[in-house]
Structure 1
Amino acid sequence: MAYTVILDPGHGGYDNGAVYFGRMEKYDNLDLALAVGEILDSNGVNVLFTRTEDVYVSPLERAYMANMVPADYFVSIHRNSGQTPNTYSGVQSLVYNMNDPSRQLAENLNKELEELGFTDLGIAVRTDLAVLRRTVMPSVLVEVGFINSDSDNTLFDERFDEISYAIATAILDSLGVPPTNEGEPSNDNEDTDNMMDNRNRNMNGNMNDEFNGNMNGNMNDEFNGNMNGNMNDEFNGNMNGNMNDNFNKNRNNTNGNMDNNMNNSNNPNSNLGQHEESEIDTDYQIGEGQEEQPTYHIQLGLFRDGNNARNLVNNLNQAGYMADIISQGELYAVVTGEFDSLDEAQAAEDTLRQQGYSTLIVRNGNR
């Protein structure tokens, strides 16, 4: 059975992530994700990436891209950061809840990285991060050491290949795939030049075009939804918070349910993993406290140009669908239908997708 894993190098482009004396998290994340992907690929796993270059991809866009393909795991790779340099160190994994396969993957990741010398800071529940909340497959965000810890950075650099192999091994173990020796670091000591060459490895076309396409705007048609060449602004990060509970994995809200090793208020590491402000799901924040009865619509496009929205409405009308344009600030959303239940909306969405439309269920009301 062929497995598919989506690797998500955190941050990118103008979003540097955490920075420490000029060292930027976005580069460490990308280097590590590419190295892990190469090892997984050599072990027969289909690997997709949310980015393969130093470009910005919004958290909601990452989740939306991931949900377009059937994948077994989504792994977001990050470095942690504390308020005071050289105060904290170690590896930590974040999950949406503790009751799906993501927990086992998180445990495997922490275990493998602890064996290389990282302190295991445990698993934390984060329901406010878009890449965990919005992805439909089991998802983990792993913080591979602290970027403002000199000891963690030394470990990250000197044992980079072993760290890559450890993460890949944790993923393979979680999939139930026995790891081969492909990609396993040699026991021989490597000189610094060779180590850095490995960090700058070229994937030479081993990455699926569904994801790498051209992240500077030439996205694969599977992602732009055959929208007559007009790139949907959802892929520009302008999703304005209208994402569906289908992207919430229909999970029970588990706010505050930390794993036992993170629950102790006296634990100095109990508030770690809070620095990823750029990863926060803003729709989750806005939607809290709303009391109105939820209803569902199917969104088929979000445009800056009103003419493009009207063209899509005309096409839908000709196909027998009643469609409307809803103004969202400077954007124009094309929607159809109004459903009282998610099941009804999903049934209608399936029909539209079978006809080649790119769809997104949007929800109004209490989450």
Structure 2
Amino acid sequence: MLDAGHGGRDPGAVYNGRQEKDDALALTLAIGELLQERGIDILYTRTTDIYESPYQKAMEANIAGVDFFISIHRNSYPTDNTVSGVESLIYDKSGIKYKMAQNINDQLESVGFVNLGVKERPGLVVLRRTQMPAVLVEVGFINSDVDNQIFDNNFNDIALAITQGILDTLDLGGEIDNDVIQPFYSVQTGAFRNRTYANRLLGELRSQDFPAELLEGNDLYRVNVGSFETLDEAVAMERRLKRAGYQTVIVIL
């Protein structure tokens, strides 16, 4: 699954009118086309300018059962034209995701970017909640004129570089088992065919500080609360919801 970062009401980083969400979408679609030409099955979190929360994106990948999750972004720094380069973010430096991040960075360095390395970011939702190897690629700093020039002048080469980094990793074979898939549990409070009803329940739960999210799939709108690594945590949340008067069922994400 390819994820174009941000979107819709969330522009991401902005610099002189340039929006991260636009660069990310254009590059993601270009990468997807190249991968499909090489026989890779691709799904997208978005192909247009829409907003979905990082949690929704992670859940879409989990429900679809994809093998890898690649999120495309542009970086930003508090001071303009101070830092430049590419970096890739992963949950931890282990398994095939680490090798893929390194391969992508190496390929992007060959295009002309400074290689800032691979960083651990276990707190990022799309890296923490995805059940498959996940890599978030920061393709240069959007508030760096140097990086923007590289991005604009070498757009096709950048798309090809990221594609090649992914393909180089897939050619390794067998290493995919290095990442243990961790199941997550959530508490479902409703499933609706009408989005209006789902949004009503979502707002009601959030007004009571429940971490509710709306998931779409199979013509249903599901309202889930939380994402937990252990069943005991999910059971504790289920008890809270039941005490508040909600019907519940624990599901595996």
- How does the TM-score come out when normalised to structure 1? 0.54
Q: Is the 8 A contact 2:107 2:162 kept in 1?
A: yes
CA contact (8 A) 2:191 2:223 kept: no
For 2:215 and 2:233, the matched residues in 1 are separated by 26
CA separation of 1:240 and 1:22: change in aligned 2, threshold 3 A = farther
What is the percentage of aligned positions where both structures have the same residue? 44
- Report the alpha carbon displacement of residue 244 of structure 1 after superposing the two structures with TM: 2.2
| Alignment partner of 1:326 is 2:241 | yes
Task: Call closer, same or farther: CA 1:60–1:328 in 2, change over 3 Å.
Answer: farther
1:117 aligns with 2:112: yes
Per-residue Cα deviation, 1:192-215 (whole angstroms, up to 9, x for no partner): xxxxxxxxxxxxxxxxxxxxxxxx
AA paired with 1:64? M
Alignment partners' CA distance in 2, 1:100 and 1:128: 18
Structure 2: stretches of 5+ with no match in the other structure:
174-189, 203-212, 217-221
Q: CA contact under 8 A between 2:85 and 2:115: conserved in structure 1?
A: yes
Q: Select the residue among 161, 165, 174 that pairs with 2:160.
A: 165
Is the 2:73–2:137 contact (alpha carbons within 8 Å) kept by the matching residues of 1?
yes
Name the CA distance, whole Å, in 2 between partners of 1:104 and 1:138.
Answer: 10
Q: Is the 2:214–2:224 contact (alpha carbons within 8 Å) kept by the matching residues of 1?
A: no
Shift of 1:327: 6.9
Contact 1:96 1:125 in 2 (8 A): yes
Larger helix percent: 2
The answer to whether residue 123 in structure 2 is matched with residue 128 in structure 1 is yes
Among 86, 92, 97, the residue aligned to 1:91? 86
Q: Decide whether the 8 Å contact of 2:59 with 2:215 is kept in 1.
A: no
Secondary structure class of the residue paired with 1:155: helix
Tell me the residue number matched to 2:234: 296
Is the alpha carbon distance of 1:240 and 1:15 closer, same or farther for their aligned partners in structure 2, counting shifts above 3 Å? farther
Structure of greater Rg: 1
* CA RMSD of superposed structures (Å): 3.1
- Tell me whether 1:75 sits opposite 2:75 in the alignment: no
SS at match of 2:71: strand
> SS in structure 2 opposite 1:46?
coil
Is 1:55 the equivalent of 2:55? Answer: no
Query: How many residues end up aligned between the 2 structures?
Result: 218
The whole-number CA distance in structure 2 between the counterparts of 1:156 and 1:13 is 22
Distance 1:110 1:328 in 2: 50
SS at match of 1:141: strand
Match of 1:235 among 196, 203, 214: 214
**Counterpart position of 1:336:** 249
Q: Which position in structure 2 is the counterpart of 1:216? A: none
Q: CA deviation at 1:44?
A: 0.7
Equivalent pair of 2:58/2:126 in contact (CA under 8 Å): yes
Higher strand share: 2
One of 137, 142, 147 as aligned partner of 1:142 = 137
Provide the C-alpha distance between the structure 1 equivalents of 2:242 and 2:146, rounded to a whole number of angstroms: 51
Q: Are residues 326 and 15 of structure 1, via their aligned partners in 2, closer, same or farther at CA, if it must alter by over 3 Å?
A: same
Report what 2:25 is aligned to.
30
SS of residue paired to 1:61? helix
Letter in 2 for 1:335: T
Q: Is the 8 A contact 1:60 1:239 kept in 2?
A: no
Q: Secondary structure at the match of 2:79?
A: coil
Query: Is contact 2:69-2:135 (8 Å) kept?
Result: yes
Give 1:297 shift: 3.5
Alignment of 1:302-321 (within 5 A): none
Mapped to 2, the partners of 1:136 and 1:11 lie a distance apart of 20
Cα contact 1:298–1:335 (8 A) shared by 2: no
Distance 1:151 1:60, change over 3 A: same
Q: Shift of the alpha carbon at 1:173?
A: 1.2
C-alpha contact (below 8 Å) 1:243/1:360 kept by paired residues: no
Q: Match of 1:245?
A: 229
Counterpart position of 1:194 = none
Counterpart of 1:152, as a letter, is: D
Matches for 1:201-240 after TM superposition, within 5 Å: 227-231=191-195, 232=198, 233=202, 234-235=213-214
Report the secondary structure of 1:242's partner residue: strand
Distance 2:142 2:45 in 1: 22
Secondary structure of the residue aligned to 2:159 is: helix
Preserved CA contact (<8 Å) 1:16 1:24: yes
Judge conservation of contact 2:85–2:114 (CA < 8 Å) in 1: yes
Tell me the residue number matched to 2:146: 151
Distance 2:88 2:169 in 1: 14
